[in-house]
Structure 1
Amino acid sequence: MSTPPHRTGSTNAAPDPRSIDTDDRPFVLVWEVTQACDLACDHCRADAQPARHPRELTTTEGKRLLDQAREFGGGQLVVLSGGDPLARPDLLELVEYGTEIGLRMTLTPSGTSSLTPAVVEDLADAGIRRMALSLDGASAETHDDFRGESGSFQQTVEAAKAARAVGLPLQINTTVCASTAGELPALRDRVSDLDAVLWSVFFLVPVGRGRLLDPVSSERAEEILAWLSEVTEESDFGVKTTEAPHYRRVAIQRRRDASEAPAADDIGRRLGITAGDGFAFVSHTGELYPSGFLPASAGSVRDGTLTERYRDSDLFRSLRDPDALGGKCGACEFRHVCGGSRSRAYAHTGDPTASDPLCAYVPEGYEGPMPPGRAD
């Protein structure tokens, strides 16, 4: 491995989430290292395929990307995603490199036979700070049906146990749609049994294969968000939502503080982030997006600077201005703490500043148009 820059004096300690200026840096930077994956999940944003794309960022380009991520500041959180990151033979090299230059490296592998206990141990030794695994059903029958692969549930559970055995903090990701919503109470119990530090609950955005799934209605989403707020109060693990920032509005309305990070999870999770505002996504071919679910490009990291594109592109700057939102979201008094899912707005309208159709809340006195695609 080549000698990395910035090694002397570098630190991968977690910065105080409250100190992060999201105009200056993302709290979460996701790099989709590949779209190759052996699974064919019903909701897959990436339309993942078995083979790697010939235009993926190379190892050298990937290290250059990590160098640029380091320029955001010490302890930058980087999530290696896919597809299945294990499809890249240089994955451990990339993890080690990022760790050495002071990044906090985390991983979202697929629950396949490739994720053996030995591999989990190697990832921990390389410096991975957290592993996120997906469970979309509480049983082998429901999870494997959703993931399109028999045995995925058992392999995921075994990987979770392997993470616990080597002291690697575990996050569980769950997709919420019409076919999985009924599984949530049982999944909550699974998350607890697996000693996860965080349950990340993702509300479906109709992109990729997810276009074929039925979302929950806005009223059902409201019920689930209120229930998740109760789960947070009762559980030892933290709860966060993805593409449902109105969870913060629901929590505020229940007179809770939704800004608390999960205790001692070594990440310092901050909840006040949305696509382009504290969150950025680099595709397998190097395109910079506000989110993997909002495929509007701010340019390629192959021919531009990651930090400049995040800070200065018109797209990202517009997404960091809640007063630029339109429709119901723009009129909402919670827009500065919520802002709605910009990804879902884009998926339904082509405009990332439009209203989020999943939110049931109507601001007092609002008489304007309701968002298109509202699932009622």
Structure 2
Amino acid sequence: KVLAQKRGGNVYTCFLPPLPSKAGVKDLGRKLMRKLFKMTVPSTCTLSVTYACQAKCVHCSASLNMAKKAKELTTEEYKRVLDQAIELGVVNITLTGGEPLLRKDIFELIRHVNPDEANCMMFSNGEYLTEENCEKLAEAGLFSVMVSIDSYDPKVHDEYRRIPGLFDKAIKGIERAKKAGILVGISTYATREEYYDGSLEKILELGKNIGVHEIVVFDPVPTGKLMGKIDMILRNEEKEEIAKLTNEYRLKEGYPGVITQAWINGPKGSGCFAGNEQFYMTSYGDICPCDFTPLSFGNVKEDSLETIWNRMLSHPAYSSKCNHCRMQDMEFRGKYIDTIPEDATFPYPIYSQSCVLNA
């Protein structure tokens, strides 16, 4: 369904350009190349612009990468990556962290993305979505922002993120971003417990009540601070139930759009985007399949983005599309995650393994 009108076209999701628009037409061409010529052209690059963050989330997926002794990329290095990503065919630039608004040149980076080529969106915990920042984000050309809301209950949300009062600040930030003309969504998680106790439905209702355009519902992935918690992985039947529930809400009149990882990576879904539709870059330039997968295929300080992308596609684990989340797959984890040395620095370089396996 149409979520909004922006840049002369209909917005069907906060993650892709409107149709018709120049970037939207580019995306249609990208999809045609994938279908007719079997070319794996990515739609999305997720860039961590900083690991600085005022929150101390108990479920932080970026925590493993924070221990690396390295400098974050400079403004010019990020701009080169943005240019290379767009040349590669990307139509959605997603800025994440950490908290992106803690990076001083964030507005300059957003401004560097040509809206005729790609959307620029951002994930944020919402605390720094002040009126001034929202106006600057809109002026710089930010297409959309996804604000993390872990629970409909302010107390639970604040406990997860270790910041008293953050829930209320996030809600106010959402209101300010909307007022500035930025598309706004909620990013949340659907655990087994939250599905069965009705908490997920309450977050979906919250999204409607505060007027967000879209809600993205991730399901638990054992990574970051939760790396060893494989018991939290949803069963296929649970994913189907969550996908059915969220689809019912998506179709309801007056409700936000809903994107659900449980559907994308579920038995009837479209399959995993990692290393196929998207890639992730750490704040230090390491390129990984997604922000949940702590495996590096190279660094942009040493190789071009195209070289690293092709290296990823040639690896046995990513040479074909996968119909489920690899980080939720015990065989994949046993082969590539559980074998990582205990003293290793993350993300772990896997491209040396690729050379051996493809020899």
TM-score (ref. length: structure 1): 0.73
Partner of 1:304: 303
Following superposition, the deviation at residue 131 of structure 1 comes to 0.6
Q: Is the 8 A contact 1:205 1:293 kept in 2?
A: yes
CA–CA distance in 2 between the matches of 1:228 and 1:100? Answer: 30
The partner residue of 2:120 within 83, 105, 109 is 105
Matched residues, percent identical?
26
**Number of aligned residue pairs:** 308
The answer to whether structure 1 residue 223 and structure 2 residue 236 are counterparts is: no
1:68 to 73, 77, 84: 84
Q: Is the 8 A contact 2:221 2:233 kept in 1?
A: no
* Deviation string, structure 1 residues 25-65 (Cα, Å, up to 9, x no partner): 21111001111101011211012899997511111111111
Deviations, residues 218-262 of structure 1 (Å, cap 9, x unaligned)? 143332222122222225422212365244717xxxxxxxxxxxx
Q: Which amino acid aligns with 1:345?
A: D
Hey, which of these two has a bigger chunk of helix by percent?
A: 2
- Following superposition of structure 1 onto structure 2, how do residues 22-101 of structure 1 map, counting pairs within 5 Å? 23-47=39-63, 54-73=70-89, 76-99=91-114
Matched, 1:152 2:136: no
Conserved? CA contact 1:206–1:347, under 8 Å: no
Amino acid at match of 1:344: Q
Query: Residues 219 and 234 of structure 2 are in contact (CA less than 8 Å); yes or no, is this contact kept in structure 1?
Result: no
CA distance in 1, matches of 2:165, 2:114: 32
SS at match of 1:67: helix
1:106-162 CA-partner distances (Å, limit 9, x unpaired) = 1112222x2212111110110001111111101211211222211111111011111
Change (3 A) 1:142 1:48: farther
**Superposed counterparts of 1:317-328, under 5 Å:** 318-322=317-321
Structure 2 CA distance for partners of 1:19 and 1:194, relative to 1, 3 Å: farther
One-letter amino acid of the structure 2 residue matched with residue 108 of structure 1:
F
Q: Which shifted more, 215-224 or 80-89?
A: 215-224
Which residue identity lines up with residue 279 of structure 2 in the other structure? A
Listed as ranges, the matches of 1:4-19 within 5 Å are 12-13=23-24, 15-16=27-28, 18-19=31-32
CA distance in 1, matches of 2:271, 2:64: 29
Deviation of 1:176 (Å)? 1.9
- Structure 1 residues not aligned, in runs of 5+: 1-9, 251-270, 323-334, 354-376
Residue equivalent to 1:196: 212
How far the C-alpha of 1:317 sits from its partner, in A, is: 6.8
Task: Pick one of 167, 187, 207 that aligns with 1:173.
Answer: 187
The 2-side partners of 1:51 and 1:352 are apart by: 20
Deviations 1:275-313 (A, max 9, x none): 111011011111111111111111111111112321343
Check the 8 A contact 1:23/1:311 in 2, yes or no.
Answer: no
Change beyond 3 A, Cα 1:207–1:242: same
Q: CA deviation at 1:12?
A: 4.2
User: What amino acid maps onto 1:160 in structure 2?
Assistant: I
Q: Say if 1:56 and 1:284, in contact at 8 Å, map to a contact too.
A: yes
- Calculate the TM-score normalised by the size of structure 2: 0.76
1:143 pairs with one of 157, 160, 178: 157
| Matched letter for residue 106 of structure 1 | M
Deviations 1:185-242 (A, max 9, x none): 1101111122222211101111111247662641433322221222222254222123
How far apart, in 2, do the equivalents of 1:163 and 1:245 lie?
28
AA partner of residue 340 (structure 1): H
CA-atom RMSD in angstroms: 3.1
2-side partners of 1:76 and 1:241: how far apart?
Answer: 20
Residue aligned with 2:175, SS: helix
Change (3 A) 1:244 1:285: farther
Are 1:294 and 2:293 counterparts?
yes
> 1:123 and 2:137 equivalent?
yes
